[in-house]
Amino acid sequence: MKITVHDEYIRIDARTDPVNKDFLKSLVDFVGQTIAGYPQQVPPMLLVIEGPKLELDPIDSIEIWKHAVEQGAHRAKIAYVIRGRPIEPVVQFIEMYVHNRGMQMRFFDNQGDALKWLL
């Protein structure tokens, strides 16, 4: 994973095959470590993840996002850009789940739309 700090946001890039529970847990841990460096206001975060295959069921996705809250992800506005595959129904489920729990996180299929929403 690569992190780039911009004036207005933090960008994290990663590539994996497949996107699965283990990868997402490591991504959440990386995001959590980044957020921990900001005791006050956390800058918006752009996650750009390339992964041609998704291997995740709804139960695993709930576990991942509960872990994300434990890591402080609820403190940041997060745009997650999916590259290499279409946005699948389980991703739409995750977005609805986290939104209903007060997290500011959305999934996008392109960086331009993600940055418009993020900033």
Res 78: pLDDT = 97
When the candidates are 3.40.50, 2.30.30, 2.60.40, 3.30.750, the CATH number that belongs to 6-34+43-118 is: 3.30.750
At residue 5 the predicted structure's pLDDT band, cuts being 50, 70 and 90, is: very high
What's this model's pTM, rounded to 2 decimal places? Answer: 0.93
Specify which residues 20 forms β-bridges with.
Answer: 55
- Strand 78-83 and strand 2-5: pairing? unpaired
Strand 45-50: give its sheet, edge to edge: 2-5, 10-15, 45-50, 78-83, 105-108
Domain boundaries, the chain: 6-34+43-118
How distant is the alpha carbon of residue 54 from its chain centre? 14
According to the model, what pLDDT value does residue 50 have?
96
In the prediction, which pLDDT does 79 show? 97
- Collapsing DSSP states into helix, strand and coil, what is residue 96? helix
24 neighbors 56 (Cβ within 8 angstroms): yes
Distance between CA atoms of 82 and 37, rounded to whole angstroms? 25
